[in-house]
């Protein structure tokens, strides 16, 4: 029997966190490739540190997107985040590009040829998860940790809170009673700020956003509220700490409330099942919960490089299911083609929709008119209900 009464914590980081700056640059370059050639292949990593950006990886796409073009995309991405600091400035930073052509050996395994369908870009396991704890069918701790930072970022970008700088982190600990979240026991927020801004003013700004983002009655006690607990946060972003693509995969997914296969998302085109199959698994799990077949659902997929069909599909209802999990496993394979090509076509993933995923989570977002966050749709609900 699983525990019913406990504390659970998840963290989030803002778009200005060094690792998220790296993710945003990688996904912005990916979007540039897909906007010019939807079948482009991209696996791009970014490193950021004090006034320095390093791009590396392999691509296959238009010749017009050369090192100079990628450098400009990186500068534009950093400018949009808002970095115009002495230690990290979109105009002054040095950009080194070591991106090269995709390996021919990988291309042979992935490309369709003759009777061979497109294969997975790598081996691996991917997980999707959904729970009815929140309206977005996401675990509550990560949902509210993201929400607080997005609110702070919106206030910074709009000019409402010019005292704030781009780098910030949050951590939310929720109290569960009888398996249901009922309130926060502690909230931690650290946000970069101008040198002239007092900690009292930072506390005033941040507390208002926390209270706005948590449900009524969920605010933690004063002794559980930690705002800039080091006392000062002026030096931040890549000037304060180096950042790398793919180092915040738990922040990107479910905040530790569900398993993670280990593969990062950012900088990878949708032939890479690390990304596309994780989106597909979330899509299926969310539709299962939205259809009322379970209160919680974890789905695991596995793939082999160069092989089109998944090697396995596993469903876990965490003792909340209303239907037979083994039967659902068979049905899901019929409801959706889970080959790399099938996933990309079903979710329309060959679009420049990825830079927006780089911060505040890849899941629990609203589907957008241009195809962004298509994996958050619940358009399988009626079909799943009918099949059961």
Annotated binding site for Mg(2+): 19
> What is the full DSSP assignment across 41-86?
EEEEEEEEETTEEEEEEEEES-TTS-HHHHHHHHHHHHHHHT-EET
From the list 247, 282, 286, 356, the catalytic residue is 247
Q: State the catalytic residue, choosing from 84, 241, 324, 337.
A: 241
Selecting among 242, 304, 325, 348, the annotated active-site residue is 242
| Strand order across the 41-49 sheet | 94-101, 52-60, 41-49, 243-244
What is the spatial order of strands in the sheet that 6-13 belongs to? 6-13, 164-177, 180-193, 225-227
The active-site residue out of 33, 88, 127, 233 is 233
Nearest to 13 by CA among 374, 360, 268: 360
Q: Which residues are annotated as a binding site for K(+)?
A: 45
Q: Which two tokens stand for residue 256?
A: 């530790």
Cα(174)–Cα(124) distance, rounded to whole angstroms?
32
Our answer to whether residue 94 is catalytic in this structure is no
Catalytic residue among 75, 150, 272, 344: 272
Q: Which of 20, 147, 150, 193 is catalytic?
A: 20
**Is 309 among the catalytic positions?**
no
Place of tokens 């929140």: 134
Catalytic residue (choose from 8, 11, 15, 17): 17
Which parts are annotated binding residues?
17, 19, 45, 58, 102, 167-169, 241, 247-248, 264, 268, 272
Query: Is 247 designated active site?
Result: yes
N residues, the chain: 388
Residues in binding site for L-methionine: 58, 102, 241, 272
Whether 248 is catalytic is: yes
Is 272 catalytic? The answer is yes
Binding-site sequence positions for ATP: 17, 167-169, 241, 247-248, 264, 268
Is 68 designated active site? no
CB atoms within 10 A of CB 382: 11
- From 45, 122, 239, 269, the catalytic residue: 45
Token readout for 79 is 């400018």
Is 20 one of the annotated active-site residues of the chain?
A: yes
Q: How far apart are CA 170 and CA 102, in angstroms?
A: 37
Which residue out of 23, 239, 269, 274 is catalytically annotated?
A: 274
The yes-or-no answer on residue 368 being catalytic is no
Q: Annotated catalytic, 17?
A: yes
Question: 169 catalytic, yes or no?
Answer: yes
> 82 and 166 in contact (C-beta within 8 Å)?
yes
4 is an active site residue: no
Bridge partners, residue 10, by sequence = 172
Q: Are the C-beta atoms of residues 187 and 226 closer than 8 Å to each other? A: yes
Q: Among residues 37, 56, 58, 117, which one is catalytic?
A: 58
- 274 catalytic residue (yes or no): yes
Catalytic residue among 8, 11, 15, 19: 19
Active site residue ranges: 17, 19-20, 45, 58, 169, 233, 241-242, 247-248, 268, 272, 274
């Amino acid at each position: 029997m699983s525990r019913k009464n406990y504390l659970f914590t998840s963290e989030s980081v803002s778009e200005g966190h060094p690792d998220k700056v790296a993710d945003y640059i990688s996904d912005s370059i990916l979007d540039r490739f897909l906007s010019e050639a939807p079948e482009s292949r991209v696996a791009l990593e970014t490193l950021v540190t004090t006034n320095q950006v390093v791009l590396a990886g392999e691509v296959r796409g238009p010749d017009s997107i050369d090192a100079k073009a990628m450098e400009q995309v990186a500068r534009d991405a950093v400018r949009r985040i808002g970095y115009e600091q002495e230690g990290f400035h979109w105009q002054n930073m040095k950009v080194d590009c070591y991106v090269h052509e995709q390996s021919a050996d990988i291309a042979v395994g992935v490309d369709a040829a003759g009777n061979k369908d497109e294969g997975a870009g790598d081996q691996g396991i991917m997980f999707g998860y959904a729970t009815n704890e929140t309206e977005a069918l996401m675990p509550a701790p990560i949902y509210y940790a993201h929400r607080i930072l997005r609110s702070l970022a919106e206030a910074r970008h709009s000019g409402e809170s010019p005292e704030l700088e781009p780098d910030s982190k949050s951590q939310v600990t929720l109290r569960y009673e009888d398996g249901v979240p009922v309130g926060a026991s502690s909230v931690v927020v650290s946000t970069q700020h101008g040198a002239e801004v007092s900690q009292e003013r930072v506390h005033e700004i941040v507390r208002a956003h926390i209270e706005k983002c948590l449900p009524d009655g969920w605010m933690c006690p004063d002794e559980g509220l930690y705002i800039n607990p080091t006392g000062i946060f002026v030096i931040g972003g890549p000037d304060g700490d180096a950042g790398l693509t793919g180092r915040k995969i738990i922040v990107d997914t479910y905040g530790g409330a569900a398993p993670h296969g280990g593969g990062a998302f950012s900088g990878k085109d949708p032939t890479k099942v690390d990304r596309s199959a994780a989106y597909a698994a979330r899509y299926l799990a969310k539709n299962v919960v939205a259809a009322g077949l379970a209160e919680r659902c974890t789905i695991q997929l596995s793939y082999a490089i160069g092989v089109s069909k998944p090697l396995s599909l596993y469903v876990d209802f965490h003792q909340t299911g209303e239907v037979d999990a083994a039967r659902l496993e068979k049905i899901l394979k019929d409801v959706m083609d889970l080959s790399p090509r099938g996933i990309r076509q079903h979710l329309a993933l060959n679009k420049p929709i990825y830079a927006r995923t780089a911060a505040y989570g890849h899941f629990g977002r609203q589907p957008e008119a241009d195809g962004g966050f298509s994996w958050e749709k619940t358009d399988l609900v009626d079909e799943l209900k009918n099949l059961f």
